[in-house]
Amino acid sequence: MVPTMLLRDDRFAVAALRQLWRGLLLCAALVLMQAAAQASERKVLVLYSLGSDASSAWQSLLRKGMTAELSQHSPASIPAIFEERFDAVRVGDEQALSSMAPYLRAKYAGIKFDAIIAENYVAGRFLNEHPDLFPGVPRHYINHGRIGWKPRDGIGYQVQADFTRTIGIIPQVAPQVKRVIVIGDSTERMQESVRAVRDAASAHQHRLAFEYWDNLTYAEMFHQAARLPSDSAIFLMPIYHDRTGERRRPVDIARQLVATTQAPIFTNWEAIVVPGVVGGYVVSGERIGHAIADLLMQHQPDIAGIPGYLFDYGAIQRFHLQNIPPTAQYLYRPQSVLEQYWWQILTGLTLIVLQGLLISALVFSLRSRRQTLRALNEERDQLEARVAQRTLELMAANTKLEQQATTDPLTGIGNRRRMTEQINKELERSRRFKHPLSLLMVDIDHFKNVNDIYGHEAGDRAIVAISHALASGMRSIDMASRFGGEEFVLLMPETEIDVAGAAAERLRSDIAALRIAGDNSEEIRLTISIGVASSDPSGTMDSASSLLSRADKALYQAKHEGRDRVVSC
């Protein structure tokens, strides 16, 4: 009797072990499959020129087109998309380009991209000027905005500028127009388009007079537009600044022109077609968004289909336009109440039906109501706690990433990117309040000898000691940063050049008295050379690059005159 029972227990144990082993094998297979799927997922970096969806009408159109195209594919087939924005509309082209390269290197150091897509001229220019960034990754330049230009390290997808159609549509739909005002700006990129417009306009010179406004202030532009006669038309290109350098979004310029002038406004850019702007033969932001989605999915984009005829329905009625091309699309066309609110009505009826069903269900489930509400409250509390925890983790990660991106890892002071941003801020504040601003560029004399004689560890200690001496020897409103290697930059707001020169002399003396311990108990003595430059807010407007350049020239002169000295310019 006992041996039979023991044998039966052994059989049960063996069966249980087999089931456990099968479960472990299944879990291992699932983990391996998931890891393989993640490893094989494509990663694509997309660089945008014009900022966030909220700040740029063009970017909103791109997002709309990309979303529509990608929604036609299964989520599993869509690659991992990493997006960065230069925000050139808000800060300007040069400022947007100045610190992006080190930022991208730091942020994506551990990611291997399968492709990079640059949209519009700022992103295209940046990517083309940095061939060493993400080497070996295929590059795609879409809508790069330069006529006849081809990238040297990738594939260019540029919409062919057909200004023959762009200009030709004006006399076709508005035969009463005798004078066309072409509004552009003085940038090299825009002047390429202005020259193309002049070539296309030559075919209409017998019936149309063309006038080019590409070097006006905004005030002059709006003042002259308000005085245009009824037989005039405006052709508005996407401009971002006037003669003085003041920056505005093209869509804001278009809205003010609509409120100012009685002349019809034509354009070649979809983002400018706001209510009151006629439109014309335009480059479609939505279709460029479709093209970017095609590149993301490794499909050939339809570049030829990007431009097309687009008109504001209200402007057509206002200016009595005729001969509209049959392929044209219309914006802001009024709808009947039923057409306009059809989905709202259907949604409302559906909600009423659902509410009726819900009330009926609640009547039959009153007994379990308290238990259900308790479970829902507990789930809500847990969800809020998880959201709060994830929010704190994300804030901490973002703070750490920002600190890493703007701090020199060796010395703990600011790096080149942080200093460049601070210079731009202080220059703006200097111009606004008419305060002087000085900048010191510092270089350690004969630093290569320190590395060669005492070793790189001693060199690092020397850099750390000098950075601390520079930072501690300045005011609380000043800022010190390591600009690269043995070079430092000190920013002194509200400081005239004489005061900055005196401060530089004091710092030079402090460093000369500094002693650095070597590896073999020897003392290392160092000297520094300093170039001082100052920005006068009442004089020529400085930029960060020009201020740094002048300080660098003064530093070079100090080196040339024998080092261990201060030179101001």
Encode the chain (569 residues) as per-residue pLDDT tens digits.
444 444 445 555 556 566 666 666 666 655 555 544 444 589 999 999 887 777 788 888 889 999 999 999 998 899 999 998 887 666 666 776 777 888 888 889 889 999 999 998 888 888 888 888 999 899 999 986 777 778 888 888 888 778 999 999 999 999 999 999 999 998 888 888 899 999 999 999 889 999 999 999 999 999 999 999 989 999 999 998 899 988 888 999 999 999 999 999 999 999 899 999 999 999 998 999 999 999 999 999 988 888 999 999 999 999 999 999 999 999 988 876 676 677 788 888 888 999 888 888 888 777 777 777 888 888 888 888 788 788 787 876 666 776 667 899 999 999 999 999 999 999 999 888 889 999 999 999 999 998 888 888 889 999 999 999 999 989 999 999 999 889 999 999 999 999 999 999 999 999 999 988 877 778 889 999 999 999 876 655 688 899 999 999 999 999 999 999 999 98
Token code pair at residue 219: 């005030």
The architecture (CATH level 2) of 43-158 comes to 3-Layer(aba) Sandwich (3.40)
CA dist 146 and 476 (Å) reads: 46
Buried b (16+ CB within 10 A) or exposed e, 15-37: eeeeeeeeeeeeeeeeeeeeeee
Residue 279, SS3 per DSSP: strand
CATH class of 163-334: alpha beta
Buried b (16+ CB within 10 A) or exposed e, 327-344: ebeebeeeeeeeeeeeee
Q: Which residues contact 52 (CB under 8 A, 6 or more apart)?
A: 59, 85, 87
The runs of H, that is alpha helices, within 364-415 are: 369-406
Residues facing residue 489 across a β-bridge: 441, 481
Q: Which helix (H) or strand (E) holds 437?
A: strand 437-444
Q: Which helix (H) or strand (E) holds 293?
A: helix 285-296
Q: Which helix (H) or strand (E) holds 155?
A: strand 155-157
* Residue 454 CB neighbour total at 10 angstroms: 19
Residue in 199, 243, 200 with CA at minimum distance from that of residue 221: 243
Buried b (16+ CB within 10 A) or exposed e, 424-445: bebbeebeeeeebbbbbbbbbb
pTM of the model: 0.53
CA dist 500 and 26 (Å) reads: 71
Residue in 126, 129, 201 with CA at minimum distance from that of residue 169: 201
Strands 523-525 and 515-517: antiparallel
CA dist 134 and 121 (Å) reads: 19
Residue 3's pLDDT is 44
Q: Note whether 43-158 and 163-334 share their fold.
A: yes
Residue in 268, 278, 290 with CA at minimum distance from that of residue 61: 290
CA dist 300 and 292 (Å) reads: 10
Residue 131, SS3 per DSSP: coil
Q: Which fold has domain 416-568?
A: Alpha-Beta Plaits (3.30.70)
Residue in 136, 158, 150 with CA at minimum distance from that of residue 301: 158
Token code pair at residue 106: 């730091």
CA dist 527 and 346 (Å) reads: 80
Domain residue ranges of the chain, discontinuous segments joined by +: 43-158, 163-334, 355-405, 416-568
> Counting beta carbons within 10 angstroms of the beta carbon of residue 474, is it exposed (0 to 12), middle (13 to 18) or buried (19 or more)?
middle
CA dist 300 and 254 (Å) reads: 34
